[in-house]
Structure 1
């Protein structure tokens, strides 16, 4: 008779796979980017995570950091959407519906928020941006206005390349947050991006 060890063994005592350990490592690294762990704690936990044999051992290392595991997940109803650059970066572009408020953490990979093709029916959009190690880039249409006065520059600073000319009924972006190490850049589309947008517009018009 064959014994089903998975049914007989509690989850916490079941053997962890390489993928399980890698998920724990990503969680710990993201927590460090967000300031939840310092580098000494990171080193200690990484060593334990890489040597963990069971799910229970991994769970102990990340139990107080579960909020960092939902990288890129939808926000709770009472909280604004959050984009996290993490290790590999995050990009929001193309056709997407703009919420009244959103938050971006550059992390180690950076975040790009591109509003040039977004569906925005709001007069005001509040963005909380934290440049952290890789920065946050925000691209807005020519007729949008941007207020950067409430950003804390940090080491990386805030670079505003938008023009003062904007339509009176166009959306207005209010930025808060901190430039961090890499800074925050706000700009209009570059020439190459404009050409791509024009090609896409003509393709849609031609059906």
Structure 2
């Protein structure tokens, strides 16, 4: 009909699928090191509550042109299917906003491997880890919403210690299934350590001077 108003593209309402696509793109960008943990949190909040395409486009303007077709890009890449870490008298660490793959192969001969999932970018609900630990160590640092199963790890003369537990009723963000062998090394699962107190905090909590005893 002539004279009918055509709404601007940016004012069109976004769907759940549109929001999910933007969320995935933001997580991949964080895993690539393009966004800090704080920036990721801020943009995820905007994306999850966005009502229009314009609001979604606002969190993508400074990212490479990959993403939903309506935003002028191509579909975001899926998380890596498999990753391998091998150390021999050395150390390897994954921390910060690193992208968690679906499968990992870890080989530690006489070195150490640390995987910190506290701020990791999780694109898949499950992670399969196949570990081979000879005389080295593998440490998984997991927040309260990450569940780790190490029951199927074969141990010769080493050790498997699980010190992180999920409280009843906690929504699980990631399930990690660990298999493989530990010969004379160790696999440890633990929660993140609490932040260290700064000097000012220590000073404020320091007990006051003892009162002199009245004679």
Q: How far did 1:131 drift?
A: 2.1
Q: Secondary structure in 2 aligned to 1:148?
A: strand
TM-score, normalised via structure 1 length = 0.52
The separation in 2 between residues aligned to 1:146 and 1:169, in whole angstroms, is 10
Task: Summarize deviations over 1:67-104 as a string: whole Å, max 9, x none.
Answer: xxxxxxxxxxx972111122221111111110000011
Distance 2:181 2:99 in 1: 25
Distance 2:172 2:187 in 1: 25
| Separation of aligned partners in 1, 2:139 and 2:109 | 12
Show the counterpart of 1:145.
Answer: 147
Indicate the residue corresponding to 1:65 in structure 2: none
Unaligned ranges ≥5, structure 2: 1-79, 199-215
Choose between structure 1 and 2: higher strand proportion.
2
Larger radius of gyration: 2
Deviation of the 1:177 alpha carbon: 0.9
Equivalent position to 2:173, from 156, 160, 170: 170
Q: Does 1:95 align with 2:97?
A: yes
3-state SS in 2 of match to 1:152: strand
In the aligned structure 2, how far is the partner of 1:189 from the partner of 1:135?
17
- On the 8 A contact 1:101/1:125 being kept in 2, the answer is yes
Which residue number corresponds to residue 190 of structure 2?
187
Structure 1 consecutive aligned stretches of length 4 or more whose deviation exceeds 3 Å: none
Deviation for aligned residue 1:156: 1.1
CA distance in 1, matches of 2:136, 2:172: 33
Whether the 8 Å CA contact 2:81–2:102 is kept in 1: the answer is: no
Matched position secondary structure for 2:82: coil
Structure 2 residue matching 1:137: 3-state secondary structure: strand
Scaled by the length of structure 2, the TM-score of the pair is 0.50
1:14-55 CA distances to partner (integer Å, 9 max, x unpaired)?
xxxxxxxxxxxxxxxxxxxxxxxxxxxxxxxxxxxxxxxxxx
Would you tell me which structure has more helix in proportion to its own residues? Answer: 1
Any conservation in 2 of the 1:85–1:108 contact (CA below 8 Å)?
yes
Q: CA–CA distance in 1 between the matches of 2:90 and 2:117?
A: 21
- Aligned partner of 2:160 in structure 1 is 158
Which one is further off, 94-103 or 126-135?
126-135
CA drift of 1:141 comes to 1.2
Please report the RMSD computed on the Cα atoms of aligned residues, expressed in angstroms.
2.2
